Structure formats: structure tokens, C-alpha cells
Amino acid sequence: SQQGEEDPQALSIQEGENATMNCSYKTSINNLQWYRQNSGRGLVHLILIRSNEREKHSGRLRVTLDTSKKSSSLLITASRAADTASYFCATGGGGGNKLTFGTGTQLKVEL
């Protein structure tokens, strides 16, 4: 079964608003990563947060990790139309030496 599940499955917001996506997982992890996939393209790594970290920032991205709740969130501030994509969380270190991807959140940012 999938290690990570994202919520919501789809999110539609207006440009300039913030977008928050959540990821829950089941087993212990070494790290949690977020990836973006534009339509028809490969996945692009956004940010990696280790199990001993609670929050990480990269530009307009903010990721939190709560290992006690086995959950993470990705916040995109001041969204732009170009942020329209699918966002996946991936957990590393749980269930073997591999990344296990979540089900993804489809984000649409409208002008």
C-alpha cells in the first residue's frame, strides 16, 4: 500500500493566495521529500526535510514535519499561475531503502 497519502487530492486557488498540502505516512522515516510534476513532465525535487527537522524553507515554500503525527505539510505562499502542477510527497527510509511516493495533490492556480 502507499506509504504517503496527500490531502487534498485537488486544490484550486486564486493567484496570490497561499496553498497548503498535507501528507500522511505510516512507518518511520529518515526523510520526507516534496516533488512537483508539471503536466506531461517528469518530477522535480523541491525540498527534503530530515526526520530530526521540524521546519524548512526554500523561497516561497515552507515544509513542516511532525514525526509524532506522521505528517508533513507543504505551504506555497503568494501562489502564481506557474505553480499549477501536481505535488507529491515521498518518504525515504521506511519500508526499505527506497522512496515511496504519495498519491499527489493537483494544484490549480487561477489568474
Partner 1 sequence: DTAVSQTPKYLVTQMGNDKSIKCEQNLGHDTMYWYKQDSKKFLKIMFSYNNKELIINETVPNRFSPKSPDKAHLNLHINSLELGDSAVYFCASSQDQTDTQYFGPGTRLTVL
Grid cell at residue 98: 527506497
Which residue in the set 5, 60, 62, 93 belongs to the binding site for partner 1 (CB under 8 A)?
Answer: 93
Q: How far is the CB of 1 from partner 1 (least distance, A)?
A: 11
Of 40 and 59, which CB lies nearer to partner 1 in the complex structure?
40
Cα–Cα–Cα angle for 56, 57, 59, rounded to 5 degrees: 165
List, in sequence order, every residue forming a beta bridge with 105; answer none if it has no partner.
87
Decide: 15 and 79 in contact? Cβ < 8 Å. Answer: yes
Which residue in the set 88, 89, 107, 109 belongs to the binding site for partner 1 (CB under 8 A)?
Answer: 88
CA gap 17, 29 in Å, rounded: 31
20 to 49: interface string for partner 1, x by CB under 8 A: ----------xx-x-x-x--xxxxxx--x-
Expressed in percent and rounded to 5, the helix, strand and coil fractions of the chain are 5, 60, 40
Which residue in the set 71, 79, 84, 100 belongs to the binding site for partner 1 (CB under 8 A)?
Answer: 100
What does the binding site for partner 1 look like in residue numbers (CB under 8 A)?
A: 2, 30-31, 33, 35, 37, 40-45, 48, 86, 88, 90, 92-93, 96-101, 103-104, 106
